[in-house]
Structure formats: C-alpha cells, structure tokens
Amino acid sequence: MWHKGVPVANRNDRAYLYQLIQVDAFYIEVIYSLRFKTIQYITAFDNTDFLEPYLEEMEIDFFWKE
C-alpha cells in the first residue's frame, strides 16, 4: 500500500479522517481518529459500491480530456 498505492480521495467527519487509496484493482480505506491521532481501521475492498461516500470528493476532471 505504501509503495504502490495511489491516494484517490479524502473525507472527514467530526471524529475521523478517511483516506481512500487505490492499489491495482482494489481500494484501501484508512480511518484515522482525529481525537487520538492514530489509525483506527484499515479496510480493503474491490466492490465499487463502497466508493459512494467519496464520489463528491473525487477529482476526475483530468480524466476527461477532449
């Protein structure tokens, strides 16, 4: 994840910072506690349904060149 991962999006709420990283054909979500300043969870998935919370934050404009 640290060497091949590409940061895709970030989002946060009052308690956590969520970072989405793409590695090949799957995604890794790293969840940091803002209060404790530590990683609380790491989740890996390949189901694109789990990308829903990140869609507003993703910058995809540069992919659409005319």
Residue 64 domain-assigned? no
Split into its structural domains, the chain has a count of 1
Query: Which domain does 27 fall in, by range?
Result: 1-47
CA 8 – CA 28 distance, rounded (Å):
10
Residue 2 domain-assigned? yes
Q: What is the pLDDT along the chain (66 residues), one digit of tens a residue?
A: 778 899 989 999 999 999 999 999 899 999 999 999 999 999 999 998 888 888 876 665 555 555
Residue 66 domain-assigned? no
Residue 38 domain-assigned? yes
Residue 34 domain-assigned? yes
CA 36 – CA 39 distance, rounded (Å):
9
Residue 31 domain-assigned? yes
Q: Which residues, listed in sequence order, are joined to residue 27 by a DSSP beta bridge? A: 22, 45
Q: What are phi and psi of 65, to 5 degrees?
A: -95, 135
Phi-psi map region of 27: left, alpha, beta (phi>0 left; psi -120 to 50 alpha): beta
pTM: predicted TM-score of the whole model, two decimal places: 0.77
